[in-house]
Amino acid sequence: MSAEISQLLTILDQAYNRKSWHGTNLRGAIRGLTPAQAAWRPGRGRHTIHELIVHAAYWKYAAWRRLSGGRRGAFPLEGSNWFARRTSDAATLRSDIALLEQTHRALREAIAAFPAARLSRPLPGSALTALGLISGIAAHDLYHAGQIQLLKALQK
């Protein structure tokens, strides 16, 4: 594996589930989350933690699809971007966290297999490069990890 791909995987993992200097990552932000915490909506038109979890899973899937050439419409839930979660029962929450974990693993595999020589080239049908996409999905995880930490704090 090239040094560039290895570094991108390190950045992605630190943003999602590996220890790093910056503090809580996305997986850490949802560790120990209760269904009640996950379902709490801070205001009309605002997202719950549960909705943020599925949103993050969707964008990991979208990044995987662009890097691997996977087919559109393969995400297991109907829709795109935001998925309404009106309530958060324990089983649905566990299932959606497992979906987040699964999409992260699939994305890691696609990154590990991606040719380092193509990192700076635009992806098919886009001006976005693989390097921009991969670093962007790591930033996306951290953005929502911070959001989740704030939502949990506001509930107290």
Query: Which pLDDT does position 79 carry in this prediction?
Result: 85
Q: Kindly state the tokens that stand for 35.
A: 């269904």
Asked if residue 53 lies in contact with residue 98, where contact means CB atoms within 8 angstroms, the answer is: no
Task: Kindly indicate the confidence band of residue 1, based on its pLDDT and cuts at 50, 70 and 90.
Answer: confident
Please give the tally of structural domains in the chain: 1
Is the model's pLDDT at 155 over the cut of 90? Answer: yes
Query: Which pLDDT does position 98 carry in this prediction?
Result: 97
pLDDT per residue as tens digits for the range 38-93: 999 999 999 999 999 999 999 999 999 999 988 788 899 888 899 988 777 999 99
Q: Kindly state the tokens that stand for 146.
A: 């911070």
Residue 129 three-state SS: strand
Q: Alpha-carbon distance 111 to 133, whole Å?
A: 10
Q: Alpha-carbon distance 76 to 99, whole Å?
A: 9
pTM for the structure as a whole? 0.94
Asked if residue 47 lies in contact with residue 85, where contact means CB atoms within 8 angstroms, the answer is: no
CATH number of 121's domain: 1.20.120.450
Query: Which pLDDT does position 156 carry in this prediction?
Result: 83
pLDDT per residue as tens digits for the range 89-115: 999 999 999 999 999 999 999 999 999
pLDDT per residue as tens digits for the range 15-49: 999 998 889 999 999 999 999 999 999 999 999 99
Domain enclosing residue 78, as ranges: 3-154
